[in-house]
Amino acid sequence: MVYSILYALFTLLLIVVLFLTGVRPVKTLGWLLVLLLLPFIGMVLFLMFGLNRRRYKFSRLQRSPRVQNYLERVAEFYQSFDRQLNQFPPELKRFAKLSRLLVKNANLLPYTGNKVQLLRNGPATFEAMLADMERAEHFIHLQFYIFEEGELADRMAGLFERKIREGVEVRLLFDGIGSRQLSRRFLRRLREMGVRLFGFLPLKVGWIVTTVNYRNHRKITIVDGKIGYTGGINVSDKYLKGDPNLGIWHDMHLRLEGPVVTSLQSIFAIDWQFASGSEALLQAEYHVQPEPAGPSTVQLVAGGPDSDFPAIRQQYFTLLNEANDYVYVINPYVIPGEAVLEALKTAALSGVDVRLMVPEKSDNVVVKWSIRSYFQELLESEVRIFLYPDGFLHSKIMIADDVLASVGTANLDFRSFEQNFEVNAVLYDRQVARELKANFMEYLAESRELFLDEHLQRPWDHRLLEGVAKLFSPIL
């Protein structure tokens, strides 16, 4: 009797929280049914997947004088944005609405004077990254969703040991679930050589229910505050040797040099403070002001469950709505939700050439059928869909109008929009956009286009699997 009363009171409390945290009506009704129809199980599911972390944040940005001064500068920049447009290249002027949005929702400014190098696939990325880390003089900061033991990790560990002996500081952040297979032996080896490392939201008793669904999916490398890397590539031998089930993992990473690296370092510093509790990286010596290094204008967008707005979703939504001629998309996880789905369909129906490329193989069977559950309405709206057959295409790329491109860590799914900490680089540069377009066309030549007539002939059991998988879309 006592347990029943306590359960009823706690369920009532969760229902009150559900109303107070302000989720969409349909989602609210869904969670009400789960809580009422699935005793105990529904409660655990709600604590894991139902809490609105944007309203009930993990943490808030430490307002040190340096951070406060930066945020004031961002606010001043936003207020004078239109007056400053003449100082920016035509590519940014063309997508001024998007740039203005990213200043507001992510507090990150666009920077001119950057050098952007596209790094296609693992071998090119790791050779460039290791070479830059070998030249480090002050610090190396790394952050990965997956940091996996193997030949590549051993090679990095050897480099860390050499650089630490030279007086270089090495810091490593890894996600508590994405890198859960890291052994204590390997972590002890890194700590003993002097690597400062932390797991982001590790699996701990008391935390697991409320944090297991919220992951840090960012991939960041910074060398001396002057050179930065971000994109879709994790530290794993599968990027070099392939995967027994999926084959070679294809991906895109960026090497950035110039003022925008300051933004990348700021994102890392905030994540470091979250994981370690230390504000050391908020100090000035870790935030150098790199000299101009190239012709590109770059703006970062960082989003996560601790941010005020769904910055990544708003970025993709605005990019799709602002395109005039074409939008080419490569993404392995397309579970777009209502807003981005409508933006894809609206763009295509209005005459924009919208092409969506996804891998034919998937690393998760539920994800596979959930992605395919959106194909029919996309095809009916004249979005062209291409299936890439050779290995696993893991890139997260958008290209628009030969003017702008986005490369980063964020998928087109609810998890990247609401639950993961993500970072994308928005590149206002015609040459880079055209290089990425050429890369897209290479993949296109190897891909199979899926046509509506063919898709409508799929077996009934495929339709059933799609319908069932779609129910799980919000938590995939």
Question: In 3D, which of 173, 175, 172, 177 has the Cα closest to residue 193?
Answer: 172
| Angle formed at CA 217 by CA 119 and CA 443, multiple of 5 degrees | 40
For the question of residue 115 being annotated catalytic, the response is no
Of 132, 163, 175, 217, which one is the catalytic site residue?
217
138 flagged as catalytic: no
Report residue 432 as tokens. Answer: 């880079």
| Catalytic-labelled residue, pool 224, 251, 271, 429 | 224
CB 408 within 8 A of CB 396: yes
Contact call for residues 176 and 201 (beta carbons, < 8 A): yes
- Read off the amino acid at residue 137: E
Q: 241 an active-site residue? A: no
133 burial (CB, 10 Å; 0-12 / 13-18 / 19+) is buried
Q: Which residue has the tokens 């990254």?
A: 129
Instruction: Establish whether 226 is a catalytic residue.
Output: no
Q: Is-catalytic flag, 93?
A: no
Residue 306 has φ and ψ, to the nearest 5°, of -100, 5
Active-site residue set = 217, 219, 224, 394, 396, 401
